[in-house]
């Protein structure tokens, strides 16, 4: 039994913020348990992208990418829409529901595998895999790629819809302490109108119900950083929950593209802690008026900055940059003064955040971005836009005290307010010093978690369950 080769099958949800942590988890598991083989299943376009991310080292050679048939047109979605970053906002709920169409193909994959899986690790958004795991006698683990605090709040909100129980603009989340209060402005547009009969509620409640039947939950976080969140997640789910993070993609000596290299070279000429990094992730954006206000605030602040620009809301995500999205002459002034760098493509976020010149991160508070910022000891200027980002921002500001919230969602903001907040975190005041100290503590604790063997707790549970299952088969 001990020498028996082990096989794990993984199924992430079709989004970059989910695929990347799954690949990192696969690598982490194999690093600590080299005899493992992992099959990571996804749809054709995502499979091709994952293949291109694999190297020829031992760890990646133990990861096999399996392709599951999927046609976006079968779900009235644009052709080739296999990832949330290629799906229009109004089609997202249809895309989320379409994930269950993978069920028969995933079942066929399991039956065709030469080595049956000992464990299935599935995304919380495809937790329907629990029934398939049961049918083949495999252990089932649900992996939440979000943090513990945000996942706990998200689960409780969708299970109870507490905002429908009161006309007040503020309400409590069941299972959380009484002083944990959410304002309606901290909800996504689709969550604000959720009423028990809408398609978003139907999706989340169905997947959460599957999650709660899993054997174990894995969370991409560090226990010591998210002590409160982990306690809440265990209480709300009733599951064994293991922190197996932070799962980050940074590799020593990895090559970066020419455009990314220019960003790092530009940062090298700036003073330590002086640069503001601005990015809203791969599938989020702000409105045109917010974009103009942000540009004015950055200019008024007088601080150097790197800004990853995406088309504003209402424009095609693949559209070429338009000068009218920014104040007249802004791009030229920043280039001439050497004070601002506008990036129109993917940026090397980990390299930017880990650079000594970076002093603050204007972020949508997607969990991967929060992890990367905290791991680098960089305070966050929170601008949450959707999903659990509002809860992540609340944790960053109120629980960890490593950031400030500047604006929520589609609220309007003045350039002067942007400049004021930037001045607080990138200036030389006491608030900046305190937040950098707290962010530095988070960085140390996360590095300790990465240097330790965070996956071993889960592995021990997996081993015990697998051994018990094996003994039961022998008796029968």
Q: Report, as residue numbers or ranges, the catalytic residues.
A: 18, 123
HSE-up (13 A, CA, CB side) for residue 114: 4
269/462 Cα distance (integer angstroms): 49
Tokens of 61: 């050679």
Task: Look up residue 304 and give its DSSP letter.
Answer: -
The H-or-E segment that residue 416 falls in is helix 415-426
Task: Look up residue 298 and give its DSSP letter.
Answer: H
Tokens of 50: 């994952």
Q: How many CB atoms lie within 10 A of CB 384?
A: 27
How many residues appear in the chain?
476
Q: Where are the alpha helices (DSSP H) in 33-84?
A: 44-53, 58-61
Q: Are strands 119-123 and 139-144 parallel, antiparallel or unpaired?
A: parallel
Which residues pair with residue 182 across a beta bridge? Answer: 171
Closest CA to 94 of 107, 106, 80, 78: 78
Residue 149 DSSP SS3: helix
387/270 Cα distance (integer angstroms): 35
Task: Look up residue 315 and give its DSSP letter.
Answer: S
Torsion of CA 304, 310, 311, 312, to 10 degrees: -70
Residue 228 DSSP SS3: helix
Are residues 178 and 96 in contact, defined by beta-carbon separation less than 8 angstroms? Answer: no
Q: How many CB atoms lie within 10 A of CB 465?
A: 18
* Residue the block writes with tokens 């996504």: 188
Residue 359 DSSP SS3: strand
The H-or-E segment that residue 238 falls in is none
């Amino acid at each position: 039994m001990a020498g028996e080769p082990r096989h794990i099958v993984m199924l992430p949800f079709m989004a970059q913020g989910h695929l990347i942590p799954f690949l990192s988890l696969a690598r982490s598991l194999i690093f600590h348990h080299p005899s493992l083989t992992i099959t990571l299943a996804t749809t054709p376009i995502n499979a091709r992208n994952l293949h291109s991310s694999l190297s020829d080292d031992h760890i990646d050679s133990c990861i096999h990418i399996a392709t599951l048939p999927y046609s976006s047109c079968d779900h009235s979605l644009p052709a080739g829409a296999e990832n949330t970053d290629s799906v229009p906002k109004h089609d997202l709920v249809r895309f989320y529901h379409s994930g269950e169409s993978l069920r028969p193909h995933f079942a066929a994959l399991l039956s065709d595998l030469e080595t049956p899986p000992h464990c299935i690790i599935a995304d919380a958004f495809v937790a329907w895999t629990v029934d398939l795991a049961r049918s083949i006698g495999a252990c089932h683990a649900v992996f939440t790629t979000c943090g513990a605090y945000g996942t706990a709040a998200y689960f409780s909100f969708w299970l109870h819809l507490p905002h429908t129980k009161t006309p007040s603009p503020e309400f409590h989340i069941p299972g959380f302490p009484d002083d944990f209060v959410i304002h309606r402005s901290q909800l996504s547009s689709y969550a604000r109108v959720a009423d028990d009969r809408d398609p978003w509620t139907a999706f989340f409640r169905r997947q959460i119900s599957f999650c709660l039947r899993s054997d174990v939950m894995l969370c991409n976080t560090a226990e010591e950083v998210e002590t409160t969140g982990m306690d809440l997640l265990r209480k709300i789910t009733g599951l064994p929950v293991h922190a197996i993070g932070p799962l980050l993609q940074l590799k020593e000596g990895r090559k970066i593209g020419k455009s990314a290299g220019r960003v790092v070279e530009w940062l090298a000429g700036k003073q330590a802690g002086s640069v503001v990094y601005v990015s809203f992730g791969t599938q989020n954006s702000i409105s045109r008026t917010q974009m103009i206000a942000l540009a004015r605030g950055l200019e008024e602040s007088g601080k150097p900055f790197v800004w990853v620009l995406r088309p504003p809301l209402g424009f095609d995500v693949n559209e070429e940059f338009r000068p009218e999205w920014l104040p007249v002459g802004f791009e030229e002034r920043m280039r001439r003064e050497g004070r601002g760098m506008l990036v129109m493509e993917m940026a090397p976020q980990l390299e930017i955040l880990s650079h000594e010149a970076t002093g603050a991160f204007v972020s949508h508070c997607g969990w991967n971005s929060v992890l990367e910022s905290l791991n680098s000891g960089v305070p966050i200027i929170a601008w949450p836009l959707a999903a659990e980002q509002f809860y992540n921002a609340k944790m960053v500001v109120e629980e960890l005290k490593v950031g400030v919230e500047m604006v929520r969602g589609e609220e309007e903001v003045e350039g002067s307010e942007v400049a004021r907040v930037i001045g607080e975190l990138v200036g030389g005041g006491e608030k900046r010093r305190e937040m950098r100290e707290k962010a530095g503590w988070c960085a140390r604790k996360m590095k300790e978690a990465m240097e330790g063997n965070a996956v071993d707790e889960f592995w021990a549970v997996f081993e015990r369950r697998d051994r018990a299952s094996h003994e039961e088969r022998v008796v029968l």
